[in-house]
């Protein structure tokens, strides 16, 4: 039952936001009593914390799995973006911003974990891209990987990028293209253009 509550709560939080979903909403949606939820989670903060842990572990496992497929480094970044977007429900409710605002301690922990995972993943991706001739060999990998993480975090701020002007899917596509165009060689640019063209078909 705990796993079912986690799955449903995570889904609802990502769809409607952390602030708007109450324990009553969750109990009604699942057709169970609030008491059942409180048997597994002592309060809403604990539930949010467990949901974010659960989601973070699922995303980490998925990204690690994609990285073991040894795809072309540029294709790999698009696969990871697609996988994350599906798991975050296209971020319709700006969950990162709400988490930061209403549950800052949980946000800080999750953000640090995301940073560590992305550093490892992006650095590895860049090194392979350089070795295979898709990325420029004069890149400062540590700098670019941090800038990339900083950008991914910043574009999710609805005050900077209001969702009505910048739909999240378009925003993520534009940001990923912006990142890759800054680091590719001519042969990497060719791969990037092929991916973009095939995505538009």
What is residue 98's predicted lDDT score, i.e. its pLDDT? Answer: 82
CA distances from 165 to 93, 151, 159, 199 (A): 14, 18, 11, 21
Q: Which of 108, 109, 3, 117 shows the shortest CA–CA distance to 59?
A: 117
**Can you give the residue range of the structural domain that contains 94?**
44-200
- Residue 39 maps to a domain: no
CB-based contacts of 93: which residues, under 8 Å, 6+ apart?
Answer: 13, 14, 15, 16, 17, 20
- Residue 67 maps to a domain: yes
Q: Which ranges constitute the DSSP H helices of 1-140? A: 2-16, 23-30, 34-40, 44-67, 73-87, 95-102, 104-131
CATH code of the domain in which 120 resides: 1.10.357.10
pLDDT band at 158 (very low <50, low <70, confident <90, very high): confident
- Residue 35 maps to a domain: no
What is residue 17's predicted lDDT score, i.e. its pLDDT? Answer: 85
What is residue 188's predicted lDDT score, i.e. its pLDDT? Answer: 97
Which of 34-43, 88-97, 117-126, 167-176 has maximum average pLDDT? Answer: 34-43
- Residue 161 maps to a domain: yes
pLDDT of residue 200 exceeding 90: no
Q: How many domains does the chain have?
A: 1
- Residue 160 maps to a domain: yes
Euclidean distance between CA atoms 144 and 126, whole angstroms: 9
The tens digit of pLDDT for each residue in 87-113 reads 876 555 567 778 888 999 999 999 898
- Residue 180 maps to a domain: yes
- Residue 26 maps to a domain: no
- Residue 11 maps to a domain: no
pLDDT band at 169 (very low <50, low <70, confident <90, very high): confident
pTM, whole model, 2 decimals?
0.86
């Amino acid at each position: 039952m705990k796993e079912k509550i986690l799955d449903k709560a995570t889904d609802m939080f990502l769809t409607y936001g952390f602030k708007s979903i109450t324990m009553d909403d969750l109990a009604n949606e699942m057709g169970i009593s609030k008491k059942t939820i409180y048997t597994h989670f002592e309060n809403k903060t604990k539930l949010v914390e467990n949901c974010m842990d659960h989601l973070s572990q699922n995303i980490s496992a998925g990204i690690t799995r994609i990285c073991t497929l040894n795809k072309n480094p540029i294709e790999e970044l698009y696969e990871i973006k697609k996988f994350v977007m599906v798991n975050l429900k296209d971020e319709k409710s700006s969950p990162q911003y709400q988490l930061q605002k209403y549950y800052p301690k949980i946000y800080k922990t999750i953000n640090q974990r995301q940073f560590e995972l992305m550093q490892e993943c992006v650095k590895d991706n860049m090194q392979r891209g350089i070795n295979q001739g898709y990325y420029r060999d004069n890149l400062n990998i540590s700098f670019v990987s941090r800038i990339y993480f900083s950008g991914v975090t910043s574009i999710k701020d609805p005050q900077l990028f209001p969702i009505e002007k910048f739909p999240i899917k378009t925003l993520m596509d534009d940001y990923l293209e912006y990142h890759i165009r800054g680091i590719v060689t001519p042969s990497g640019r060719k791969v990037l253009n092929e991916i973009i063209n095939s995505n538009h078909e």
